[in-house]
Structure 1
């Protein structure tokens, strides 16, 4: 590749243009080059015909060669107008152009052709030879063996190149849009983490400090601070869900697996929500009594606790006062099973496939949050090589969420 002109466009990967343009040159017999909008040749000249090989061995496309000068002039005109200019004539050799655009702006130009429209003559070849530092009779020996490029045939080739370039440009636009989405996502995660988590943590700390250091607060003030503490925790949980959901959507959510007993995971999750169940008057039980202390798995304890916490909190939300929630744990040689069974409002058969979708909100009972908990929980279980499923007899028949995990003994 010969570099001619000003610096290249920094955002374009010109290497991807090489293979398709090389195939185009072989298929059509034309010589083609790709320039950036600043006038630098980035690909080419690529040619497969006998004439093209002869011209490439001359000074035609040297930095100061007449071919490079002509092509730069064409590029400047196309970049200025935004569309192809009239075909140029180089002593009988036809030179065409095609703009390359992204999001409506010209970022490059294809210059192609360098072929005769009609049968040439020894005299014309001698004239070209003197301009490019090559023997005219040698050029004549090549071009007389090749069929001229008629207008109809050139029109077909131009249409082919336009289709090829359009396909590549659309692909580049799609990639750029995906990159823009990725950058927006990263900015969102950084903003949420800093701008929302930090003040929530500070507010939570101040509320806790006031409750602990002022035991003589008026009942109304103490009640208000306790309510504030609950709301701050809910907001913090929603922020964490948003971040986890974004990581799940982009494949960035990960787990760190290590040997752990199931009893530890279940106890930590139960201790977080057991008070909520008692406050609502819901009978809560875990079977077996040891919470699965004798069952070992390879898992991320914090993430699996998050799964159970979401399932249990979900059960409490949709189980009315006086209802019941059971956690049943069982294991075989190769699998661990955890069933969270509630006597709550149940799920309609048509809604079962939608339960684990992102932002799936229930509008009944005391539903709160963003509808992301079950979506995130299922992905965490899948990252452990397991599965999370749901079943229900229908509205008013309660629900059963089942976690299945591969079992791994601690050695």
Structure 2
């Protein structure tokens, strides 16, 4: 017994079959119908030959017509397990083909309705009497059409099988993609909630301990402080994973509002000043107003994320006592923000791979998942801009340059 799709065939788009089956019918001259698991005709009858057009004016394929009854019997036998069931109506050959998706039969194509040999006026009279059409009118069309031989019908069947197989495989692919998308959405929701929630609770308790418990031993206080840093790093990696997944699937978006570049840059700098101070790194901004006169239609939070990422990377790979310069230059149509460090630089062979996902720098004090620059570049591109990188080589520093349109 063949497994059947669920009753009602929820999710099957029968309309997508109309065009390819119509084209097949017109090319072959065969009449085609498509039935679902309930025995309901979803497509057809699609007629192309002159004989079929005459029969279409009769009771042949009406709901209670003899042609419909024959097609339903054939379809029912296919659903019962007879994969290649056939029938005949006064010498007119009728064939069938099962439609499957993921190994389940969800529909049956019934096709043919052509004589496989030269017919006669008497056969046309019998058909006419059965369906309520003039036998003479039917014979006038039949005698002008060539019969469809066994070999020719087999060829048409093979072509229809290829057509149906292509559509079914495409549907399977789409369904599999939808399944993957649903799994991805579930993963993102799980990561966002199930991992962030305990981290937030742990971070809050550490803060409470550090602020409310007096006279903590130095080792305990240092341990809690280190744990707070590690929790922050874990939370940042979770955010990067979610952003990277949204980027890969095209779900990352920005909300544009009028923003001042100066405020965005100051907010980004405030998040890294502590790290720069610990390594005695100088942060120098040109011009002194930090770009207060530059106005953008941008997502301020996401743009700050880009700048923070570039600055954090620069601090990470710049040795103690180094310098990081942020230079802002405004043109007629775009603003350019260059973040240049005096750090370890990037080898020429590695430059093309800097913005790849999970491209983790393995030198010095590298950490994280290697997603920051990948996400940053995508965010800049969502703003209609570009993010590029340049380096003269090992120990000669690196410059990341953001270019954003002013209009």
Change (3 A) 1:295 1:15: same
Distance 1:401 1:82 in 2: 67
Aligned: 1:93 with 2:102: no
1:56-205 superposed matches below 5 A? 56-81=56-81, 83-85=83-85, 87-205=86-204
Distance 2:274 2:95 in 1: 78
Distance 1:44 1:156 in 2: 21
| Equivalent in the alignment of 1:37 | 37
Q: TM-score, normalised by structure 1?
A: 0.93
Distance 1:190 1:93 in 2: 58
Stretches of structure 2 that go unaligned for 5 or more consecutive residues are: 1-5
Matched positions, count: 402
Aligned: 1:12 with 2:21: no
Q: Confirm or deny: 8 A CA contact 2:7 2:37 kept in the other structure.
A: no
**Deviation of 1:137 (Å):** 2.8
- Secondary structure in 2 matching 1:254: coil
1:167-246 superposed matches below 5 A? 167-246=166-245
**Deviation of 1:292 (Å):** 1.9
Distance 2:160 2:236 in 1: 54
Please provide the CA RMSD for this pair: 1.7
User: Residues 168-222 of structure 1, C-alpha deviation per residue, up to 9 Å, x if partnerless?
Assistant: 1122122112211221222122111211122222221221122111232111111
Stretches of structure 1 that go unaligned for 5 or more consecutive residues are: 1-5
**Deviation of 1:226 (Å):** 0.7
| Equivalent in the alignment of 1:26 | 26
User: Residues 215-255 of structure 1, C-alpha deviation per residue, up to 9 Å, x if partnerless?
Assistant: 32111111111111111111111111111112212222222
Q: TM-score, normalised by structure 2?
A: 0.94
**Deviation of 1:311 (Å):** 0.4
| Equivalent in the alignment of 1:261 | 260
User: Residues 30-64 of structure 1, C-alpha deviation per residue, up to 9 Å, x if partnerless?
Assistant: 10001113322100000111111122222222223
Answer with 150-159 or 106-115: which moved more.
150-159
| Equivalent in the alignment of 2:3 | none
| Equivalent in the alignment of 1:286 | 285
- Secondary structure in 1 matching 2:350: helix
Q: Confirm or deny: 8 A CA contact 1:82 1:106 kept in the other structure.
A: no
Distance 1:287 1:240 in 2: 31
Answer with 233-242 or 281-290: which moved more.
281-290
Q: Which runs of 4+ in 1 moved over 4 A?
A: none
Aligned: 1:339 with 2:358: no
Aligned: 1:249 with 2:248: yes
Change (3 A) 1:336 1:82: farther
Q: Confirm or deny: 8 A CA contact 1:325 1:343 kept in the other structure.
A: yes
Q: Confirm or deny: 8 A CA contact 1:387 1:405 kept in the other structure.
A: yes
**Deviation of 1:82 (Å):** 6.9
